[in-house]
A and B are shown apart, each in its own frame.
Chain A
């Protein structure tokens, strides 16, 4: 190819590439959390260090699950007196070893935003009209509608664990609003909330394969101020053996409990 023709070809390729609309990023894939809720409640220096010998590790990264014996973490949601009193009741129950206030132990959905902890892995399925987030833990699922629909009165009158989520793109960031949440769940798995709770999220890639979810929880009845937390997830590499989640079928084991 002569130099002028090569130049024309190069310009054509560059212009063609720029003419393509960028489109939103594709979040599809299987991810594992870097910082699930509860993992930082107690330092876990020796937990789950693979095949290493040495001192026994604790059972799981998220094992502390804040049974309340250490009080509330400085970065925990800031509760109004009424809800602090409710938390004290929950704390006593958990410290005594009861599952009464642990939805996941009863095979119930963790609810929003607790389910974004994704301790056992998360699968994201995406098309232009909808993004679906699936949690292996308790087979929990949420849908985020991107087609412009809004929650109706019928939706708002029928609150659920995952709530009703709608989203839109702001550049490379997915902005999600979640409403219609009932109060039979715990904000991060441990903290009570009211039926007035709403959740706002900004989800984006920090770098290829590293997904960030900036979560803001608002609840005028339970919280003295909005609670902000950031979850980060690493995408599983295809062929690593970790890029498929397994069926959870939680009630399978409740048979023995009766």
Chain B
């Protein structure tokens, strides 16, 4: 019984303190930055916050199911200068994300570039910062 209470508490703690699994601020060393993979999916939310922005999205797994991804982007200041705004991505729109995958294999990555359905590319840096 006591073990069950502890286990339940641990589960609750996990739920309470990690509202989105994998959604925690990471160092760049958490990602395989020499690799870039590409996923396409539908935006659930776009979080415009420091130190990193976040895109939560749903991706079809090819077997009839769907998988949630939480991808981590550059800081708002960096993205503003690259032409983004906090309204650049809207819930429900389909986007393609190029990103470096997490070293731990979780469904997260470090955004390299976002391409909208109409072909518009949202890059990480504008010409002035190159």
User: How far apart are B44's CB and chain A's nearest CB, in angstroms?
Assistant: 15
The range of chain A's interface size is 35 or more
Contacts between chains A and B (CB distance < 8 A), count? 153
- CB of B121 within 8 A of CB of A257, answer no
Q: Which of A208-258 contact B (CB under 8 A)?
A: 236, 240-242, 245-250, 252-254, 256-258
Question: Are A246 and B76 closer than 8 Å at their CB atoms?
Answer: yes
Within 8 A of B (CB), among A94-144: 94-99, 102, 104-105, 107, 120-121, 136-138
Looking at chain A's contact residues, the main secondary structure is loop
Q: Which residue of B lies closest to A57 (CB)?
A: B112
Question: Residue of A at shortest CB range from B32?
Answer: A97
Q: Which residues of A contact B107 (CB under 8 A)?
A: none
Judged by a CB distance under 8 angstroms, whether A21 is at the interface is no
Is the beta-carbon distance between B77 and A256 smaller than 8 angstroms? Answer: no
Tell me which of B2-10, B21-29, B61-69, B87-95 binds A. B21-29
Kindly list chain B residues whose C-beta atoms are within 8 Å of the C-beta of A247. Answer: 50, 77
- Residues B19 and A97 in contact, CB atoms below 8 Å apart: no
Q: With A97-B102, A249-B50 given, is the CB distance from A121 to B33 under 8 Å?
A: no
List of A residues within 8 angstroms of B98 by Cβ: 56-57
B99 and A59 contact, CB distance less than 8 A: yes
A121 touches which of B30, B52, B77 (Cβ 8 Å): B77
Q: What residues on B are CB-neighbors of A71 within 8 Å?
A: none
With CB as the reference atom, state the residue of chain B lying closest to A254.
B25
Q: Interface 1/0s, chain B 97-129, versus A by CB < 8 A? A: 011101110000011110000000101111111
Q: How far is the CA of A104 from the CA of B111 in the complex (A)?
A: 18
Give the nearest-CB partner of A136 in chain B: B77
CB contacts under 8 Å to A, within B33-56, are 33-34, 36, 38, 49-52
Closest to A190 in B: B29
Most chain A CB atoms below 10 A, which of B23, B100, B102, B113: B113
Is A236 touching B77 in the complex (CB atoms < 8 A)? no
Whether A256 lies near B20 (C-beta < 8 A) is yes
Residue positions of A touching B, CB distance < 8 A: 32, 42, 47-53, 56-65, 67, 94-99, 102, 104-105, 107, 120-121, 136-138, 236, 240-242, 245-250, 252-254, 256-258
Beyond A65-B29, A97-B103, 7 additional pairs, beta carbon < 8 A: A51-B123, A63-B28, A102-B27, A102-B28, A242-B126, A248-B77, A256-B24
Taking beta carbons and an 8 Å cutoff, which residues of B are in contact with A?
Answer: 17-20, 23-31, 33-34, 36, 38, 49-52, 74-78, 80-82, 98-100, 102-104, 110-113, 121, 123-130
26 example contacts (A-B, Cβ-Cβ < 8 A) are as follows A51-B121, A56-B112, A57-B36, A57-B112, A58-B36, A58-B100, A59-B100, A59-B112, A59-B124, A60-B74, A64-B34, A65-B27, A65-B33, A67-B28, A94-B29, A97-B26, A102-B27, A105-B26, A120-B78, A242-B126, A242-B129, A246-B77, A247-B77, A253-B25, A253-B51, A254-B25
